[in-house]
Every structure is written in C-alpha cells, then in structure tokens.
Amino acid sequence: MKRLIIALSVLGACCAFASEKQPNVLFIAVDDLNHYAGFTGRNPQAKTPNIDRLAAMGTAFTHAYCTVPACNPSRGSLMSGMRPSTTGLYVNSQKWKDFIKEGQGLNHHFRNNGYYTAAMGKIYHENTKPIDYPSGWDTYPSVPVDVNGSKKRDKVSKYEAYFDPLKHDLTDEDLGDWHTVNFAVEQLQKKHDKPFFIACGLYKPHMPFVVPRKYYDLFPLEEIELPPHRKDDLNDVPPIAHTLPSNNEDHKRMLADDRWKSAIQSYLAACAYTDMNIGRLLDALEKSGHADNTIIVLWGDHGWHLGEKQKWRKFTLWEEGTRAPLIWVAPGVTRPGTVCRRTVDFLTIYPTLCDLAGLPFPAHVEGKSLRPLLADVNAEWNEPAITTHGYMNHAVRTDRWRYIRYSDGNEELYDHSKDEYEFQNLASNPEYLAVKKELAALLPAINTPMEKSGEQKKKSRK
C-alpha cells in the first residue's frame, strides 16, 4: 500500500509538471524610442496610451539604459547578452555577424530549447530584409513595403520628414510597421504545438519622421514646448565630448532655421504612430487566448536627443542618448501597475527571459536576471547600468550618479538627485574624488580594441 501511495504521488507530480505550459514570449523592439513614452513622466507632451497600457499590465522600468547608443551595436549586445567592450562591436558601420557567433543569439537559444521562433522587422540591425543567421528562426519574412512608404511619396526637401512634418498624405498601411504588426498578429492567431517566441521589430520613430498627417495633428506646433536646456550647457564638458558624437551641426541648423519645435512635433508624431501599432498588437494578444501564458517585453534600442545638451539623435553617453523604455509583463511574476525606478541596462533582457522561461543561462551571457525586481520592485539590486560608445568610452549610471570616462582619461560626473538634465559636471570638484573612484571600479574590465575587430577578428576564428 505504501509503495502504491508513493507511486501515485510520483505519477501525480509528473502529470502536474507535464500540464504546466512553458511560457510564450512576445518580444517588441522599437527603434529610436527614447524615454518620452508617457509612463516615464519625462515629457508630458508625449501621447502613448497603448505603451502606457502595456506598462499598466506589468512592471515598467523608468530608468533603463542601452549598452550602446547606436542601433547596430546596441541590438548586437542585447541579442547576444554580451557587452560591446567584450565583443568589439562598437559602431553602426561594423558587421554584427563578425562579432556574434551563430547560435549565441537570444532567438537561437530559445529555438534550440524547443521554441517556435518567428520575426519580422528590425530585430538585429536590418530594416525590411532580415540578415540574421537562418538557423535562428523558423520564419522571418521581409517587410513587404518600404519602412518609410517611399513609393507613396515624392522626393522630400532638405528638412521635410526629417525635422518637419511630411507634406504628402500617407495612410497607416503605407508604412512597413503596419505590415510587421500584421505578421505578428497572424502568428498570435495561429495554433502552435510549441511555445512561441514572436519578435516584432518596429522601425518608427526612427528618422525620417514619415507618418500620416493625423499623427502630426495630435501635436499642434504652437503648443510644442522645448525641453529644459541651457546655452552654456557644454562649457564644462571635456573636448572629446564635443567630437565623439557624429551629429555636431544639427543643433546649429535647428537654431538657424527655427525648426526646433517642428522637429519635436515630428518625433512625437512618429512615436504616436508606433503607439497605435503597439495597441493593435496588444488587442490581438488579448483575443488570442495566449495572454495568460505569454511574457511580454518591450524595449527601445537607445535614447534620442531632441536638443538637450545641444545635441540631436543618439551617439552620446548622456542621459538622453542612453535612456529608453523597458516594460515587462510576466504572468505569475509581475503585478499589474508596478513601477520600478531602479537603474538597469538592457544586458538584463537575455538572462531575464531565460529565467522566466526556465531555460539554462548560456556561458557567454554577461548580464543578470531582473526576476527579483519583477517580483518586488524594492528588492535588493546593486547592478549599475553601463553604456559604451566606441573603444574605452564608458558611462556608469547608478540610482544617483552618472559617471563618464572617455578614452583620453577625461571625465564627467552628474548628481541626478539634484541635476536630472546633467547641467553641472562635477568631475573636477575634489569633493567627489571618492565618488568617482567608487564608480570607476564599476567600469568594464574587458576592453577589446577596435583594431582587433571586424574582418581581422573574423579571420582569426577560421
């Protein structure tokens, strides 16, 4: 009898284990979406009701940071789980496949562990045509139309659509993101005999700011407010901070042609278009029957300046160039409407998904799982956010401080408890020597030189 009870107990445990469904994953990547999303509170002009709706479904991180302020290396780092200073993938002009081996990608790991993997749009550094390793996806079709609807519009002027609203009429369907969401919706509607990993890579609000007229109309130009700024903002930063970004003339052109408000209007409009598409995606998930067993993660690949610190676009180590949205919905782990204000970076995404899905952590993955913070936003968390832009240029962001050290040894230090727009560089103040020393100890220990990257590195593997 005792043996029978034991046998039945074991059988019951096995059946219970078998009945547990491995969670699905809906992976939403948004290009150039900075922290203007409504839930962060950074810019009250933003209108992102669907992103805010997603934030209310789970845990929203208000202080999340990219590992690189540029598309290609940021995505390569996030998808491989490795820092750019480890791989040597630093800039957009490099080919990410020269630095990330086949099989190291997040999607490869899920597929190798029994998941059905499907994607459309920009996940790694591609737009309409996927260039990922074919072994990483069960299906990854090209976006059927141009991401900017170029066939539907005439040649634009010097500023039009980049910093001004587009004069030509477009429909939602004219842009590639509409079709990318259609693909993801179709995938959600299908019956799957495996858990799924569906990646939806949205291109907007990446430049040019080409969206239908109705999205510009949401933001009347006369109501646009400029971000907090100072004319002398860059007087206390080292010379390398002026030369490192590749867009130093943008702000001068904005002021000379009085286009600052127009550019902000256009960016907000592009964000609103993306928000609409995210709403379509959430509606489809709710109707699919998969919502109760689907992990959702939404992230923007880096920040975006709109005149803060006299800069535009990305490519800086300051707050605006590095901070982006991060939202998690994990059934059974996150609680609706929770907000985490701890400082995290996107190297956490790979291990967190592995943790939530019950997959092993690959040996090459460097980040730590956010699961403790997803379960309790006040849990102990001592990991800084680290951003790298080029060889030996790093920023360390903690809950209070941003410390930047450049390749030439120059430094910047900002106290975010008093200076959230980083107007005052404290690095030269001797009172903060101990703070700088403590933060410098958090800088990456590995710094792969640029000259050992690219084709040289590729050849060394043969």
Q: Give the residue numbers annotated as catalytic, written as ranges.
A: 71, 125
* Rounded-to-integer distance, Cα 54 and Cα 206, Å: 21
What's the gap between Cα 60 and its chain centre?
13
* Rounded-to-integer distance, Cα 350 and Cα 446, Å: 20
Q: Which residues, listed in sequence order, are joined to residue 198 by a DSSP beta bridge?
A: 26, 118
Q: Which residues contact 211 (CB under 8 A, 6 or more apart)?
A: 166, 170, 175, 204, 269, 270, 272, 273
- For 63, the 3-state DSSP assignment is strand
The identity of residue 324, as a single letter, is A
Please state, in angstroms and as integers, the Cα–Cα distance from residue 338 to each residue in 212, 324, 328, 349, 376, following that order: 33, 18, 10, 18, 9
* Rounded-to-integer distance, Cα 6 and Cα 8, Å: 5
Residue 441 tokens, joined: 């100890």
* Rounded-to-integer distance, Cα 295 and Cα 61, Å: 16
Burial of 66 by CB count in 10 Å (0-12 exposed, 13-18 middle, 19+ buried)? buried
Burial of 409 by CB count in 10 Å (0-12 exposed, 13-18 middle, 19+ buried)? exposed
What's the gap between Cα 283 and its chain centre?
22
* Rounded-to-integer distance, Cα 311 and Cα 247, Å: 7
Give the helix/strand (H/E) hosting 396: strand 394-397
* Rounded-to-integer distance, Cα 449 and Cα 223, Å: 47
